[in-house]
Amino acid sequence: MSDLDRVLAAVDADLDASLERLFAFLRIPSISTDSAYASECRRAGQWLVDDLAGLGFTAKLNDTPGHPIVTGRSETGASRRVMFYGHYDVQPVDPLDLWQSAPFEPCIVENEEGVKRIVARGSADDKGQVMTFVEACRAFVKVTGKLPIDVTVMVEGEEESGSANIGPFIDAHKDELKADLALVCDTGMWDPQTPAIILSLRGLMHDEIVVRCADRDLHSGYYGGAAANPLHVLAKILAEVHGTDGAITIPGFYDGVIEPPDYMKASWADLDLTPENFLGPVGLAQPIGEQDRSLVEMISSRPTFEVNGMWGGYIGEGSKTVIPAIATAKISCRLVANQDPVHVRDAVRAFVRSRIPADCSVEFLGGEGSPAVAVAHDNPDLGKAAEALAAEWGRPPVTIGEGGSIPVVGAFKKALGQDTLLVGFSLDDDRIHSPNEKYDLTSFHKGIRSWVRILAALAG
Ligand code: BES
Ligand code: ZN
């Protein structure tokens, strides 16, 4: 039996124990956006530090102005080194009443087809994915006494809240973090049978818009018909953002947007992505993006504008005849290649300002962002990883752009000069960021086996 086969067999034999470890990690409610959970974030980071130390990594919890960053280094003396990145923080759990089991009490649920799923907040995004890599390392250490390639681990606790502190951390620790290649496990598969190597991620700009009209809440009997209503003002402006053709009407919004490279367009030809199979499972039928664009373009290579939340006035039980003084919306834009987050923010703000009535006012809170990233598609290591994935899944990975964002990935090239391999095992129906988040047991098990094969291939 080859070393590789023995390590894979050890993964299979250790699956139950590796699930127990993942469950312990999942039980820690490390919600990064809510300051009430700061100590839990720290606890999750420390849990990972201890686990890595047990595998022989020199591991530590690095303080930042926000949540701490986990780092670990192996020193096997191998000629190559990879840096693995993931995040231990998770999204908030609300609405809690829609969960069928407690979000931080992980369990295995079997669906009607006998598919076993790990259900918990963070199971797919991203603790389960992080542990696919850690368990692969564990199996190597157990069977061969060491890793086949040197590994630096960097797992942050603020990815879900914008990764504000990891850029400065990387700048300050370049020597410690430098590797031949970055590995990221925070993305999805193409479908349950087909792995994916992600070649681009969209960027993000998010902002909060606060519109104020009268200097107090008003009785709609006295003032209705005369006084401006900030909810109406805001709703009208937001409704004007999209034209009937689905395009965004904000002047300057599309500045810098480029068409995807030919190699990526070529890879779309084989993808079977239809409104039925993509939107059908979430109860929709009609793609609402730019009507002259294909569905795959809408979700990966075109920018978007979304209202993520909007509130104001009375939302309690019964009715209240009020004209509110204030209305607020949280908005975010997915960005694509060459769009500048600051330029987009300024374009959005100018569009809103120009539509605010003269006796009303608008204030913006936030406006942070990170640009889109494209990773090198011609790095030979990506070819090796593709072969390794093909060996595990019985078919080659698709190479696609992903619509989500992982803000730090741009810094791997810019600050450390290293290319990134983005491979993950999450599925479209994992409900990341939603109630009842799950990670298929197959994703976890074959994810570990995939990393074993990828590490062996990169070492060899
Ligand atoms: N794991 C996701 C990114 C992702 C989403 C990959 C969908 C593949 C498909 C990541 O944890 C995430 O949610 N990122 C945020 C970043 C934001 C808060 C700056 C996102 O994309 O909204
Ligand atoms: Zn994630």
Cis ω before 95 (30° cut-off from 0): yes
- What is the per-residue pLDDT for 267? 81
Do residues 144 and 212 both lie within one domain? no
Q: With a cut of 90, say whether residue 265 has pLDDT above it.
A: no
Ligand 2 centroid to Cα of residue 354, in Å, is 36
State the residue for tokens 């022989």: 56
Ligand 1 centroid to Cα of residue 402, in Å, is 10
Mean pLDDT of the residues in the chain: 97
- What is the per-residue pLDDT for 294? 94
**C-alpha torsion angle, residues 278, 284, 290, 296 (rounded to 10):** 0
Length of the chain counted residue by residue: 460
Do residues 167 and 216 both lie within one domain? no
Segment 194-199 shows an average pLDDT of 96
In a domain, 298, yes or no: no
Segment 182-207 shows an average pLDDT of 96
Counting the structural domains of the chain, the total is 2
Ligand 1: does its nearest atom lie under 6 Å from the Cβ of 188? Answer: yes
Segment 246-253 shows an average pLDDT of 98
Ligand 1 centroid to Cα of residue 231, in Å, is 29
Q: With a cut of 90, say whether residue 179 has pLDDT above it.
A: yes
Q: With a cut of 90, say whether residue 166 has pLDDT above it.
A: yes
Domain boundary among 322, 348, 370: 370
Of the candidate ranges 74-88, 91-105, 138-152, 251-265, the one whose mean pLDDT is the lowest:
251-265
Q: Which two tokens stand for residue 279?
A: 């939107």
In a domain, 283, yes or no: no
Pocket probe for ligand 1: among 368, 427, 432, the residue whose CB has the most ligand atoms within 8 Å is 432
Do residues 334 and 427 both lie within one domain? no
Domain boundary among 370, 388, 411: 370
Nearest CA to ligand 1 atom 6: 187
Distance CA 157, CA 41 (A): 7
Res. 162 pLDDT band, cuts 50 70 90: confident
Domain boundary among 335, 351, 370: 370
- What is the per-residue pLDDT for 270? 81
In a domain, 249, yes or no: yes
In a domain, 223, yes or no: yes
Do residues 156 and 223 both lie within one domain? no
Q: With a cut of 90, say whether residue 173 has pLDDT above it.
A: yes
Do residues 210 and 318 both lie within one domain? yes
Q: Mind listing the pLDDT tens digit for each residue in 16-72? A: 999 999 999 999 999 999 999 999 999 999 999 999 999 999 999 999 999 999 999
Nearest CA to ligand 1 atom 18: 160
Atom of ligand 1 nearest to the CA of 370: 19
Residues of the chain with pLDDT > 70, as a percent, come to 100
Do residues 381 and 316 both lie within one domain? no
Distance CA 138, CA 14 (A): 10
Cis ω before 16 (30° cut-off from 0): no
Ligand 1: does its nearest atom lie under 6 Å from the Cβ of 125? Answer: yes
Structural contact between residues 287 and 279, judged by C-beta atoms closer than 8 angstroms: yes
- State the CATH number of the domain containing residue 451: 3.40.630.10
Segment 80-95 shows an average pLDDT of 97
Do residues 91 and 115 both lie within one domain? yes
Pocket probe for ligand 1: among 159, 306, 443, the residue whose CB has the most ligand atoms within 8 Å is 159
Q: With a cut of 90, say whether residue 136 has pLDDT above it.
A: yes
In a domain, 36, yes or no: yes
Ligand closest to CA 402:
1
Provide the residue range defining the domain that includes 223: 203-257+303-370
Residues of the chain with pLDDT > 90, as a percent, come to 95
Do residues 382 and 321 both lie within one domain? no
Closest-CA residue to 81 (of 154, 181, 4): 181
Edge-to-edge strands, sheet with 306-312 = 306-312, 326-335, 203-212, 361-370
Segment 73-87 shows an average pLDDT of 97
Do residues 106 and 158 both lie within one domain? yes
- What is the per-residue pLDDT for 268? 85
**Beta carbons within 10 angstroms of residue 94's beta carbon:** 11
Ligand 2 centroid to Cα of residue 202, in Å, is 13
Segment 292-313 shows an average pLDDT of 96
Res. 144 pLDDT band, cuts 50 70 90: very high
Ligand 2 centroid to Cα of residue 197, in Å, is 16
In a domain, 280, yes or no: no
Q: Which two tokens stand for residue 409?
A: 């990935």
Do residues 222 and 160 both lie within one domain? no
Atom of ligand 1 nearest to the CA of 206: 19
Q: Mind listing the pLDDT tens digit for each residue in 275-286? A: 999 999 999 999
Segment 363-388 shows an average pLDDT of 94
Of the candidate ranges 211-225, 370-384, 433-447, the one whose mean pLDDT is the lowest:
370-384
Segment 296-320 shows an average pLDDT of 97
- What is the per-residue pLDDT for 260? 87
Three-state secondary structure along the chain? Answer: CCHHHHHHHHHHHCHHHHHHHHHHHHCCCCECCCHHHHHHHHHHHHHHHHHHHHCCCEEEEECCCCCCEEEEECCCCCCCEEEEEEECCECCCCCHHHCCCCCCCCEEEECCCCCEEEECCCCCCCHHHHHHHHHHHHHHHHHHCCCCCEEEEEEECCHHHCCCCHHHHHHHCHHHHCCCEEEECCCECCECCECEEEEEECEEEEEEEEEECCCCCEECCCCCCCCCCHHHHHHHHHHCCECCCCCECCCCCCCCCCCCCHHHHHHHCCCCCCHHHHHHHHCCCCCCCCCCCCHHHHHHCCCCCEEEEEEECCCCCCCCCEECCEEEEEEEEEECCCCCHHHHHHHHHHHHHCCCCCCCEEEEEEEEEECCEECCCCCHHHHHHHHHHHHHHCCCCEEEEECCCCCCHHHHHHHHCCEEEEECCECHHHCCCCCCCEEEHHHHHHHHHHHHHHHHHHHC
Pocket probe for ligand 1: among 33, 34, 160, 345, the residue whose CB has the most ligand atoms within 8 Å is 160
Res. 376 pLDDT band, cuts 50 70 90: confident
Do residues 150 and 41 both lie within one domain? yes
Ligand 1: does its nearest atom lie under 6 Å from the Cβ of 229? Answer: no
- What is the per-residue pLDDT for 271? 87
- State the CATH number of the domain containing residue 331: 3.30.70.360
Do residues 210 and 197 both lie within one domain? no
In a domain, 278, yes or no: no
Segment 139-164 shows an average pLDDT of 96
**Cβ burial 142-163 (10 Å sphere, 16+ → b, else e):** ebeebbbbbbbbbbbbbbbbbb
